[in-house]
Structure 1
């Protein structure tokens, strides 16, 4: 193990990744070498940033902690620290059950880690980050917590009430990241559309995005994790007006059956959902919608599931993910409803809904053949440059593959491309001369 080297391991969502990037910058500022690679740890100290959202994520986090705890027992690691959502939620239990960990921190007090290492947190570097993404794009977290009361979700239990980051602070971070070479911003929050209500007493997402769009050097802005109830419709003219606001919206809808939506406490109806989608598509022509759906929620009978399938076929989402309901302790659903749908049935429904979407995605991709699009190049892989269009978010969406024989391209630069082929997952393009 290398002295003065710290390994940061980030699990879970991109919001955790942002926290890790701020921590890495602080640690480097006080003289540590820092790596961000769980598969090849080499330092004398490890920090695991955990996820506690659903069962699979919690299991992954616990397994990672145990793996590093064993390394510490075997003398391959000097100190082990744990932070993040799982630690926030189960701080006392984890401290008792895994004593090999030197200290557990919650979601928000990770700055104490610097003090416990005998160093001091530097407030002058508050907005600075060491990016773990390719240097041309970054995730930009504009709030913490959530005020929604979805019955199945443990996030408010873990992170607390919604807290917006002031507009000027967000813009300072944008300008800093632009100065570091960032051109593309993935705007993230647990729930984007509530932004501003706590500090400005009204929804301010549209105004914030407009200000970011007017910041020199910002090439693309992409919006993640919107909520359908009380959607801020003043955002739509901003998306339509500014070419650097990607025609892309990630809006988690979860279900369409009215009874399921009611029990989920989503505060939206089937009729309102259809109306919102049609309005978004009318106001922002060409927009690509990504959504997440849940199958197997308590009380989801065959009629409700058939309604969900019809919804997917009707709307033809450009991007869609789905997951099976899993009961989370402490949530409203866990206390009010029996988890009455067998695991096998949940998995069958999940496979069925995703098979429907795969056909839709393939058809939509095939329609793009012959289109001219703007792409950014993320990396080189084998014989291809790997890029994305404005309709593709990193890690989760299709990519655009360009043969290297088409000429030399620069990572992080934008190019005009023509789509020449498509498969179930990706597009293939050539660069326009």
Structure 2
């Protein structure tokens, strides 16, 4: 019996890549394990991340552990794919002769051939899900055209390439037929979808088509770039009940000086106007954003503007990262990394302190409200669920006491919120 262990690191886009690869391998007769430390598989494939320093180190550490396992005879073949391999294949080959081969982010046919499988184009919409069975990520595009100053993604994955709409619909129908009820739409910039294929942005049309697929109850949008945000997306969000009132839109900063240095394509005034327009068009919208502190040249005045932006907008969900210089990017080539590391981290902590206060106040306002909730899992004495305002793995959860009633994973229930903490809600099934 041929067995392979596929280990996936990094973002949800990597997750989708691995799931497609595993489907190809299973079709070739392999038994595939996902991220397993209990398998006796003699072949290991590591899908790596090469985005920021911590993620790269995690990937390197995983490769080193697998290389040691190969030297000890516990595995026989080791392959490395993905973003880290795309960027640093030559250096990695020199340092890690234990690895049989390195493959980049687009050479899925190559890795299949190396494993004795034929990469079959007719299987392009097949997936071996590694998420819970009721939700899945749907990657609608590859690469990015924006070339923000801090970001290595265009260097790794190239320019934006949209997946044809009919391919996405076929993939989504297959996922729904297998029990997926929530589609999480992802790309480096989801709002760019369609420009390369159809000459215009067609995310709104794609969302409407996904909502018409039988079995799909929630469609969630991640990674929407702020510049040139298409108004028709907000309009379809407002009128289509299956689209979650949730939008992940990374602003990164708000100071005009920092936005220009980052080579973002919008201004402070445009960012504020976009938030106002979105919340006006989509009542009850939960906004998630990502911010960056300590980018080259960030002054205390710039940071004060960012802190005020967080206070003004009161994002429902927020993540913040301290700037990490990535070789080959515009900022690494042209700007001096002049903000001390301790200042970067302290500014990130200050932003999160403000956000903690906002999150707690937002949550307290939800006490007494009945939320439609999907059950993701059971952990100890609680069922763990989410409302439409929360995405899996990155956002808060609704904890429901397990005593007294059995709830089914992947099912939706009306849950009344009974109490709140900074980043968690507690509730009970309504109508008990």
Bucket of the pairwise TM-score, normalised by the shorter protein: over 0.9
Question: Counterparts of 1:162-201 in structure 2 under 5 Å?
Answer: 162-201=160-199
Question: Counterparts of 1:403-422 in structure 2 under 5 Å?
Answer: 403-422=401-420
The aligned length equals: 431
Aligned Cα root-mean-square deviation (Å) = 1.0
Structure 2 alignment gaps of length 5 or more: none
Q: Which residue of 1 aligns with 2:212?
A: 214
Is the contact made by 1:406 and 1:430 (CA closer than 8 Å) also made in structure 2? no
Q: Which residue of 1 aligns with 2:12?
A: 14
Q: Which residue of 1 aligns with 2:64?
A: 66
Per the normalisation by structure 2, the TM-score is 0.98
For residues 428 and 420 of structure 1, do their structure 2 counterparts lie closer, same or farther at Cα, with a shift above 3 Å needed? Answer: same
Q: Which residue of 2 aligns with 1:243?
A: 241
Q: Report how far residue 41 of structure 1 moved.
A: 4.8
The answer to whether the aligner puts 1:376 opposite 2:374 as a matched pair is: yes
Q: Which residue of 2 aligns with 1:391?
A: 389
Question: Counterparts of 1:314-393 in structure 2 under 5 Å?
Answer: 314-393=312-391
- Structure 2 CA distance for aligned equivalents of residues 124 and 163 of structure 1: 19
- Structure 2 CA distance for aligned equivalents of residues 406 and 393 of structure 1: 27
Is the contact made by 2:24 and 2:117 (CA closer than 8 Å) also made in structure 1? no
Which of residues 143, 157, 168 is equivalent to 2:155? 157
- Structure 2 CA distance for aligned equivalents of residues 4 and 165 of structure 1: 32
Deviations 1:253-278 (A, max 9, x none): 00000000011010111100000000
Is the contact made by 2:43 and 2:77 (CA closer than 8 Å) also made in structure 1? yes
Q: Look up the SS of the partner of 1:405 in the other structure.
A: coil
Deviations 1:94-151 (A, max 9, x none): 1111111001000010222222222212332221111001101000000000000201
- Structure 2 CA distance for aligned equivalents of residues 421 and 34 of structure 1: 42
Q: Report how far residue 91 of structure 1 moved.
A: 1.4
Q: Report how far residue 34 of structure 1 moved.
A: 1.3
Structure 1 alignment gaps of length 5 or more: none
The answer to whether the aligner puts 1:233 opposite 2:231 as a matched pair is: yes
Per the normalisation by structure 1, the TM-score is 0.98
- Structure 2 CA distance for aligned equivalents of residues 202 and 100 of structure 1: 47
Q: Look up the SS of the partner of 2:231 in the other structure.
A: coil
- Structure 2 CA distance for aligned equivalents of residues 423 and 38 of structure 1: 34
Q: Report how far residue 71 of structure 1 moved.
A: 0.6
- Structure 2 CA distance for aligned equivalents of residues 311 and 379 of structure 1: 35
